[in-house]
Structure 1
Amino acid sequence: MEYFKSGLKSVLGTPQEGLQPTGAETVERLVDRVRSSTLLDDRRDACRALKALSRKFRIEVGAQGMDALCQVLEMDRGDCEIVGYALDTLCNITASESFEDEEHPHLSPTSVGSLGEQFTEIFIKQHDNVGLVLGFLEEYDFHVRWPAVRLLTSLLANKPKDIQEIILVSPMGVSKLMDILGDSREVIRNDALLLLIQLTKGNANIQKIVAFENAFDRLFDVISEEGYADGGIVVEDCLLLMLNLLRNNTSNQSFFKEGSYIQRLAPMFNLPPEGDDTGWSAQKVSNVHCMLQVVRTLVMPGNPAQVTMSSQKAMKACGLLEILCGILMASGVPVDILTETINTVAEVIRGNHGNQEYFASVMAPSNPPRPAITVLLMSMVNEKQSFVLRCSVLYCFQCFLFKNEVGQSQLVQTLLPSSTEVANLTTGQLLCGGLFSGDSLSNWFSAVALSHALVENPAQKEQLLRVLLATNVGSPPISLLHQCTMLLQQGSKMQSKLGLLMLLSTWLAHCPQAVKQFLSIPTSIPYLTAQAGSNEHDDSEELVQGICAFLMGICINFNDDTVTTFSKEKLRQIVEKRLGLETFLDKMGEVSKHELYSKAAKHPQLRPKQPSELLLDHEFCRLFRALEGMVVRALSSKPHSDLVNGSSEHSLLASENSLLLQYKELIREQDHKLQELTQTTERLTVEKSTLQREVKDLKSTLSQLRDENMLLRAQANTGLGQTTSGNTLGREAFHMLEEVRAEARRWKEQSEQKDSLICKLEEQVKSGVVSDLDTQLTLKSADQTIASSDIERELQETRQQLAATEEKLAELATANGEIEKMQKDQEDLLELLTDQDTRLNQLKAQLRALGEKVDDDDDDNDEDLEEEAEGCEDENSA
């Protein structure tokens, strides 16, 4: 401490006896010394002292010394020591956290936390300041490069968007940051990783630049050096940066796949051999979790289908899917890693038939061996298992059945009667066991899993109707549909009811045979009517009531009227008389308004925080969205006699909707044609500009030829002694005239082609598009009275667009007139050139008649020959 005080004395001088300067005064003197000192050593000592005071007196140093420090970075950049002090000082005053020895008695903790942000805003007002710091990254000196990295990290933490934009427009800014990853000093490399993680958050352009600066190669090299999953936190930082580059960035995902980086992911998942007691450290768990996140980013359902499919094929080809399945069946894997691995395998096989077939063939190392799917389903229906693990197994099973008709068929076959005895548990038996168990969560999981075997597969819906279940001894078996209906009516738990309702809705939709069997159960419609008419206001109860109404609407829409007691018309009457149509529709509308409906509809994977949030399934939400309108129309339609009497306003509404769709389709077509016409107009405008430039060049050439002709005439006036030079210039002029003629012919041909194209375009617009639109609008004018005001507004906009197009065509016609005028001038020029040739030939003939020798090689002369002929005539006359 005494050494520090003596250093300050040497810099500031010894204060007067009995007067101790305050912190602000000390900082003021030091800042003045930095600004005014002519000796570099004095400025360096002052910067060192400011760095020492910047923690305790951050406000004073930042407020008074910011400009001086920036001046040091600008003027003294050649001295690494003073630059290092200035950068360290700026790091301290822009830090987002407070220091233990910081003095700020008059500031609240909130104000202290925003100090770094305020000083950052002051620093980046001059964008060149950030450019200076980026420039210091090229300096290899540790005391310059490291504080420069730390300062940029602080600036990014305080003003991320602003710093991203500044670095993005800075020349080679991102490249300079990428070069630091190759620094042999680990502390700089590791801080550079943290800097790049901050820099690449939420900025697709920076992500692309970083990826194409060989970021993936460098990251994989660092991960390999650190020991893959067994490495330290540096491995996790590399994977976090990789996640930033890949998440929601289709370009980088394609680059990752095409660069064969998927193959480099496989060695990262190699587990220790059996019997290894090293275990799973907390850092290894974090590393593997991030590795699984990288894999999922490449195959998540939200990606473009082409990117996902190609990544899935590459993962299967390089053995990554096999390694992941091995982790599923391995022992000693932590629960959170096992859960995330199940989710990863689910998305690797989702919608890919080859990967789904491979997953179906994976066997668990049990005695006797069982399929991995069966082992996973056993965990799902086991209420002792972790809740998140059971959710992940359901997601994996859903992905296995997604667009997999073979897998759906095999599941249903395990429920049908078989001639052979089945010793082992099957998937169908496990799902039925969970469906009939006393655990409501198992009921929900099993019902949803079974419903996915019926998604977009009407054949399996009819096959599932054949499933019979044994009851008490001596009683006949009952169908699975009947049993599900009974469980629904007897159940008291909301979760179980919702699972069964979703299963029945999926089963009955688009399957009249299932609707017939359901309506044949005497208590089915009375139960749905009672539920839909209930007045309970609990959130879960409202969902049950809404889905019961939806299921009843499905029975109306897909009813083939074979069950006379519950035909379409009778079901409509039940709805209208017992429930009321408005009440019924309101009940059904409550489903789509529910918060859990919105969450389930967004993503196929279930992400509930607790079991009570597990109520709706993603595929059911898709089905509800697709069929809700059909159900409303089915309830609103009436018999033909009622239509004649005009008692069905909803049918008129359907007619209006149909007309609205026709008009929208018509307007969509006209918009497409207008876009094509606009593109053609723009292209013709560009070609017109090109032709105008060519005409301008031709005029310049003609002007040059006229000047040369004048020169030839001047030479001819000096006498025939200059015939040789005149002949040479004449030949050059004649060649240039020939080039002008050829250019004029080519220009004329192009003009004719453009005229033809413009005429066709005018005919197409005036006689085709406009007349077609007017004709269709005239034909539909009688129906337009019932259309909404939106249609009229859209038609008015279309007419305005057509008027704008006609104005553009009028401009083209005007331009065409100018082209025709220039073409006429060119033709006049050609006629003059032809007359000139004729005159030259006559002059040659006169020269030969007067006895002058005219060689064939001199046929290229033009103006000179004319002058010679005139001279000879004058001599003869003399």
Structure 2
Amino acid sequence: MDFLKSGLKTVLGAPEPGHQPSGAEIVERLVDRVNNSTLLEDRRDACRALKAMSRTYRVEVGAQGMDTLKQVLELDRADNETINYALDTLNNVMSPTQFEEEENNPRVPMNIGEQFTEMFIKDHHNIQLVLDLLDEYDFRVRLSAVQLLTSLLTNRPKDIQEIILVKPMGVSKMMDLLGDTREVIRNETLLLLIKLTKGNANIQKIVAFENAFDRLFEIVSTEGYSDGGIIVEDCLLLMLNLLKNNSSNINFFKEGSYIQKMLPMFNTPDESEEAGWSPQKVSNVHCMLLIVRTLVSPSNSAQIISSCQKIMKNVGLLDALCNILMSSGVPADILTETINTVGEAVRGEVTNQEFLGNVMAPSNPPRPAIVVLLMSMVNEKQPFSLRCAVLYCFQCYLYHNEMSQASLVQTLLPSSSDMSSLTSGQLLCGGLFSSDVLSNWFSAVALMHGLIENPVQKEQLLRVLLATNIGSSPVSLLHQCTLLLQQTTKLKSKVALLMLLAMWMSYCPPAVAAFLRAPGGVGWLVAQTCAADHDDNEFLLQGLSALLLAICIHFNDDSVDNYSKESLRQLLTKRIGMEMFTSKLSEVTRHELYNKAAKHPQLRAKVAADVLVDYEFCRLFKVLESVLVQSLTDRTQQNGTGSPTLERGSPESGSLEQYKTLIRQQDARLQELMAQLEGLLHQNQSLQGALNDSISANSHLKDENTLLKAQVSAAVALPSSTAPPSVQDDSRLQEYEARLQALDGEVARLTGELKLSQDAQRSTAEELERVKKDQDDLLELLADQDIKLNDYKMRLMSLGHPVEEEMSAAPQNLT
């Protein structure tokens, strides 16, 4: 601090006796010195002093010196030292983090760096000034320019991305720095590019086509692949940004033979090596696994996924991943992510699924890798995330593969099972009836995936028999599932069994018949559907029970005497009612965990409480819900009705006139709504204009307010000496405070107007939506009436009654 004081004395000269200048006054003098000094050395010294003060007096330096520092970048380009001081000062002013010197200063807002960034980037030329400085070879200038751009991107990422996107050679200048031989600059550039490419597909494409992948793999190779330091992780994070949700870059990566360049990343440490899996190696491998998953993510197009999966198999990448899977000493989080990655690398690709099915674990005796994985899934002592990963991998192994599904069911049939060795089917049956709730759920869902879109295996699974008690006759697997559904008190187990049975029985009348023969099944479903519990999970259980009951009706082949399709329909109508049935069914899609599960095939649960609904079941439910409701509704309406006859004076005949009157009324209402819509559109345009004006004025006042606060801060700063303030200082302070209060009032007024405009605009959107909905409902009603009128006309004509042309033509002309 003494050194700083002595330096400031050199720049500013000795202070007047008895007066110690405040920090704000010193900043003001330094800014003035930069602006007015004719000697470069004086400007350089003043910039150095401003840099020294910019951490403690950030607000003052930013408010008073930002324009001056921008001029330095433009006019003193020839002097690298001065430019470096200016860049470092701006970086401190716009730093996204709080400095230690500011921690005890309540006058400094937490987001002050973001506020100054917003002011700095209003003139896009300022970004161009910094970009141009990347061309300077001087170490400090280039490094400071990179760091300043990183701070700007941290504070206002979207704005900076859009500005850089339109700057000529903006991205190219940054990419060139990856080739800088000075590692510090290269490393800082990596951090800059990670922020630059995040969430912007256009910039991602430009960076990729600037040979980013070649340069990144060169760095990864030089650094030692997965054994390298944090620089390897930064390179992989940048690759991940370039590939995530960007099909163009994925195709470029695939066709550029970069997939095989990932192979050296998956060399597992030798067990004899002392280093083993260091924390950095874990991070590096984890990032590379994420890149592999990005290439074969289920959200990609089927063509991209399939071609990437084939390349992974052909170049040996799938083999390398399976080696990690079967290696000992692999950290738990790496093993979990590898299981997920292997799953997506084989999902839907028959050759890869067959390869995984043939992988043998190095156990004694050797067992298929699939069996070893399932042993972990049904073991309650294994980590929760690992068990979820195994389920996902097994689901991927069965996905769109009838042979894998058939193999699973065959392991449960006594005639083809090798009783001396543990099979996947036996593991799942054991888990299904285990005392561990999660094992119940995992096993039921795994079995369910063996039946998806496979009616043959649904019927084959009906042949599976289970030995219950010694001396008792064996019962079928479906019979036992039905009994367990009635006996268990665990919600998660009930939901799992209902999902399994729904998948099994849908589109499979023999399975429906087997369920109906099991004692108590139908009664339990009716009781559950009628239950009055109001917990969200209980609502879900009631909805699933209603679904299974509807499946029993819709897919019923009338082979069970006591439970024919018609008798079950009457039972549903009398005991539950169609209104309650549809209400309970709709509760399923309202459940939070249903909506989470429906978004992605992988189960993304952080805790066991989040495990409840499966993705494939959500797909089945979406298909069945409307089909079942429509089927039951139509049959209920048709039940007991004959061919109608119309006579003059009958209610049906009289209702025709009512329809005509109603149509005329609705036509008038439609015209009225159209007029209202036109008025609302004009009102919306005027409100939008007022909103834009308010936003512009508010932004201008905020900038002026920031500057005034800095000036007030300078005026009220207490000097270190004991000399009292002068009358002139006091009056100036009052003047500042009065202006600040006036500005605060103006900002508050404009903010209020802005909120009112936004509220009015929001109301006008809502009104438009209501009008549009009314129009849609009206058009739908008119179409229904048209159909009914034509129907009545045909019935009258068939009975020999004359029909007026005007009566039948009116709705047609209107529609």
TM-score over 0.5 for the pair: yes
Pairwise CA distance, 1:780: 11
How big is each residue's C-alpha offset from its partner over 1:829-869, in whole Å with a ceiling of 9 and x where there is no partner? xxxxxxxxxxxxxxxxxxxxxxxxxxxxxxxxxxxxxxxxx
2:616 to 619, 632, 646: 619
Contact residue 54 and residue 93 of structure 1 kept, 8 A: yes
Residue 18 of structure 1 aligns with which residue? 18
Alpha-carbon shift at residue 785 of structure 1 (Å): 5.5
Equivalent residue for 1:153? 150
Contact 2:271–2:329, Cα closer than 8 Å, also in 1? no
Check if 1:284 corresponds to 2:266: no
Task: Go from structure 1 to structure 2 and tell me whether the alpha carbon gap of 1:154 and 1:786 turns closer, same or farther (over 3 Å shift).
Answer: farther
Alpha-carbon offset, residue 139 of structure 1: 0.5
User: Whole-Å Cα distance in 2 between the matches of residues 780 and 547 of structure 1?
Assistant: 32
Aligned residue among 318, 321, 330 for 1:321: 318
Deviations 1:175-214 (A, max 9, x none): 0011111111111111111111111111110011011111
Correspondence 1:143 to 2:147: no
Q: CA deviation at 1:784?
A: 7.4
Which fold has the larger relative contact order, with Cα–Cα distance below 8 Å and residues 6 or more apart in sequence?
2
- In 1, the alpha carbon distance for the partners of 2:103 and 2:234 equals 34
* In structure 1, distance between residues paired with 2:58 and 2:362: 64
| 8 A contact 2:269–2:277 mirrored in 1 | no
In percent, how many aligned pairs have the same letter? 65
CA distance in 1, matches of 2:494, 2:4: 76
1:638 alignment partner, SS class: helix
Shift of 1:130: 0.6
Select which of 215, 219, 240 maps to 1:218.
215
Partner of 2:239: 242
Give yes or no for contact 1:401–1:408 (8 Å, CA) kept in 2: yes
User: Counterparts in 2 of 1:22-61, with a 5 A limit?
Assistant: 22-61=22-61
Q: Choose from 516, 519, 525 the match for 1:519.
A: 516
- Could you tell me which residue of structure 2 aligns to residue 480 of structure 1? 477
What are the equivalent positions in structure 2 for 1:830-845 lying under 5 Å apart? none
Give the Cα–Cα distance (whole angstroms) in 2 for the partners of residues 646 and 195 of structure 1.
77
Q: In the alignment, does 2:599 pair up with 1:574?
A: no
Give the superposition deviation at 1:644.
Answer: 2.9
For the 8 Å contact 1:431–1:446, the answer to whether it is kept is: yes
Instruction: Work out the CA distance in 2 between the residues paired with 1:182 and 1:385.
Output: 46
Query: Runs of 4 or more off by more than 4 Å in structure 1?
Result: 779-782, 784-787
Any residues of structure 2 matched to 1:326-475 within 5 Å, and which? 326-418=323-415, 421-475=418-472
Amino acid paired to 2:374: L
Deviation at 1:101, TM superposition (A): 2.4
Instruction: Give the match for residue 78 of structure 2.
Output: 78
Q: Deviations over 1:523-577 (max 9, x none)?
A: 2111111111111222222222111110010111111112221111111110111
TM-score, normalised to structure 1's length? Answer: 0.73
Secondary structure at 1:442's aligned position in 2?
helix
Q: How many angstroms does 1:2 deviate by?
A: 4.3
1:607-686 map, 5 Å: 607-638=604-635, 642-644=640-642
Deviations 1:336-369 (A, max 9, x none): 1100000000000000001000000000001111
How far residue 517 of structure 1 moved from its aligned partner, in angstroms, is: 1.4
- Equivalent residues of 2:94, 2:151 under 8 A apart: yes
For residue 548 of structure 1, the aligned residue among 545, 549, 555 is: 545
> Amino acid of the residue matched to residue 642 of structure 1?
G
Deviation, structure 1 residue 16: 2.1
Matched residue, 2:293: 296
Give the structure 2 partner of residue 272 of structure 1.
269
- Provide structure 1 residue ranges, at least 5 long, that are not aligned to the other structure: 648-778, 788-798, 801-878
Provide closer, same or farther for how the CA distance between residues 210 and 785 of structure 1 changes in structure 2, counting only shifts above 3 A.
farther
1:715-758 CA-to-partner distances (Å, cap 9, x unmatched) read xxxxxxxxxxxxxxxxxxxxxxxxxxxxxxxxxxxxxxxxxxxx
TM-superposed CA distance for 1:472, in Å, is 2.5
| SS of residue paired to 1:112 | coil
8 Å CA contact 1:98–1:112 kept in 2: the answer is: no
Does the 8 Å CA contact 2:84/2:141 hold for their aligned counterparts? yes
CA deviation string 1:216-256 (max 9, x = no partner): 11111111111111111111111111111111111111111
Which deviates more from structure 2 when the two are superposed, residues 3-12 or residues 60-69?
Answer: 3-12
Aligned to 1:66: 66
Name the CA distance, whole Å, in 2 between partners of 1:490 and 1:104: 64
Residues 591-650 of structure 1, C-alpha deviation per residue, up to 9 Å, x if partnerless? Answer: 111000000111111111211221111111110110001110221123756343679xxx
Shift of 1:370: 0.5
User: Which letter maps to 2:356?
Assistant: F
- Are the aligned partners of 2:270 and 2:276 in contact in 1 as well (CA < 8 Å)? no
How far the C-alpha of 1:154 sits from its partner, in A, is: 0.8
Choose from 113, 124, 148 the match for 1:116: 113
Q: Are 1:528 and 2:525 matched, yes or no?
A: yes
Over the aligned positions, Cα root-mean-square deviation in angstroms equals 2.1
Which amino acid is 2:205 matched to?
Answer: K
| Alpha-carbon offset, residue 492 of structure 1 | 1.0
- Is 2:98 aligned against 1:101? no
Change (3 A) 1:784 1:259: farther
Q: Does 1:495 align with 2:492?
A: yes
Secondary structure in 2 matching 1:167: helix
Asked if 1:5 corresponds to 2:9, the answer is no
Query: Partner of 1:481: helix, strand, or coil?
Result: helix
Is 1:783 matched up with 2:787? yes
Q: Alpha carbons of 1:646 and 1:496: their partners in 2 closer, same or farther (altered >3 Å)?
A: farther
Rounded to whole Å, the distance in 2 between the matches of 1:46 and 1:437 is 77
CA distance in 2, matches of 1:243, 1:145: 26
Specify the code of the residue in structure 2 equivalent to 1:532: T
Tell me by how many angstroms 1:473 deviates: 3.0
CA distance in 2, matches of 1:103, 1:32: 28
Note closer, same or farther for the CA distance 1:143–1:361 as it changes in structure 2 (3 Å cut): same
Provide the rounded CA distance (Å) in 2 between the counterparts of 1:185 and 1:161: 29
Does 2:567 align with 1:563?
no
Which whole-Å CA distance do the structure 2 matches of 1:74 and 1:393 have between them? 59
| CA drift at 1:421 | 4.5
| Contact 2:233–2:284 (8 Å) recurs in 1 | yes
Provide, for residues 654-687 of structure 1, a one-character-per-residue CA deviation record: whole Å limited to 9, x for no partner. Answer: xxxxxxxxxxxxxxxxxxxxxxxxxxxxxxxxxx
> Is the contact made by 1:507 and 1:514 (CA closer than 8 Å) also made in structure 2?
yes
Structure 2 CA distance for partners of 1:532 and 1:151, relative to 1, 3 Å: same
Contact 1:364 1:371 in 2 (8 A): yes
Shift of 1:103: 8.4
SS in 2 for 1:450: helix
Preserved CA contact (<8 Å) 1:131 1:170: yes
What amino acid sits opposite 1:423 in the alignment? S
**C-alpha deviation, 1:414, in angstroms:** 0.9
Larger radius of gyration: 1
Q: TM-score, normalised by structure 2?
A: 0.78
In 2, distance between residues paired with 1:543 and 1:339? Answer: 30
Secondary structure of 1:418 counterpart: helix
